[in-house]
């Protein structure tokens, strides 16, 4: 990768992670790592253009059907693709099908851009990770193989100690906080060949005393009531949190027109 390259456009493809949940802005919208990255790239390149096709809750089949061809047609300099993790969290998941769809997405996107960026997604420490770890690592092995085959760059967030810290995850335990998204933006920035602005993004936050038993149980109850039970309800009824929502930034336009 060149040092301090010049890229004139960025298209982000994916689900809630790329949409920016839970980096909440005062107006109720989400920012996230892709917006942060685009802002930094735009500051270096006049006329920089940015689109973000991500929609929360999307499975890899939906990403392929709804976003990949649109992104490829934009002919952007950089395309980021993160998908498949929502599939691994479903009770029934055909990993062979997930790998095949991810391969299909990469094969369509790689020839359409100067640099395709894939990711090994971050994972919060806890029992949920242990339950789904084999599927996740299967997905990430596929990511590595596809990147090697198609010349894509892989940003390894899964093995970053800082991003495993529960303090960098929102109360829903599925999405990063604003600080987590900032670190992801830095990781992608460096992967694209820019000079680091934060060489310590992988470094864990300073150790603090953990909350007591009562506070942990209260947090568990709030999580179950506000997030886990609604998530289970959507799975049982075949609904998604992204149903009916449009892409975040559907057109490849100058960044200042979208900021």
Report the SS3 class of residue 32.
coil
Quick: pLDDT tens for 35-57: 999 999 999 999 999 999 999 99
- For the cut 60, the answer to whether the pLDDT of residue 231 exceeds it is no
Architecture of domain 9-254: 3-Layer(aba) Sandwich (3.40)
Q: What mean pLDDT is predicted for residues 205-216? A: 68
**Where exactly are the structural domains of the chain?**
9-254
pLDDT score for 259: 47
Contact predicate 13/68, CB 8 Å: yes
Burial class of residue 128 (count of CB atoms within 10 Å of its CB; 0-12, 13-18, 19+)? middle
Give 162's Cβ-side CA count (13 Å radius).
Answer: 21
Residues 32 and 166: their CA atoms lie apart, in Å, by 18
In the chain, what percentage of residues exceed pLDDT 90? 71
pLDDT digits (tens, 9 = 90+) for 157-184: 999 999 999 999 988 878 999 999 999 9
106 close to 151: Cβ distance less than 8 angstroms: no
């Amino acid at each position: 990768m060149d040092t301090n390259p010049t890229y004139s456009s960025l298209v982000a493809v994916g689900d809630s992670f790329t949409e920016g949940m839970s980096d909440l802005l005062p107006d109720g919208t989400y920012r996230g790592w892709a917006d942060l990255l685009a802002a930094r790239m735009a500051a270096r390149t006049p006329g920089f253009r940015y689109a973000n096709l991500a929609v929360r809750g999307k499975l890899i089949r939906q990403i392929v059907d709804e976003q990949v061809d649109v992104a490829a047609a934009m002919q952007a300099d950089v395309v980021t693709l993160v998908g498949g993790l929502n599939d691994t969290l479903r009770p029934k998941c055909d990993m062979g099908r997930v790998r095949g769809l991810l391969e299909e997405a990469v094969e369509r996107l790689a020839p359409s851009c100067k640099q395709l960026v894939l990711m090994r997604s971050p994972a919060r420490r806890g029992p949920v990770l242990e339950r789904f770890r084999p599927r996740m690592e299967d997905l990430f092995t596929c990511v590595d193989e596809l990147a090697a085959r198609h010349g894509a760059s892989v940003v390894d967030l899964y093995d970053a100690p800082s991003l495993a810290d529960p303090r960098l995850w929102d109360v829903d335990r599925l999405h990063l906080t604003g600080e987590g998204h900032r670190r992801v933006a830095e990781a992608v920035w460096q992967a694209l060949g820019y000079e680091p602005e934060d060489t310590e993004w992988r470094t864990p936050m300073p150790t603090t005393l953990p909350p007591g038993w009562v506070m942990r149980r209260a947090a568990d109850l709030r999580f179950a009531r506000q997030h886990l039970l609604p998530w289970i309800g959507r799975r049982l009824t075949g609904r998604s949190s992204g149903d009916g929502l449009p892409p975040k930034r559907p057109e490849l336009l100058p960044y200042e027109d979208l900021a």
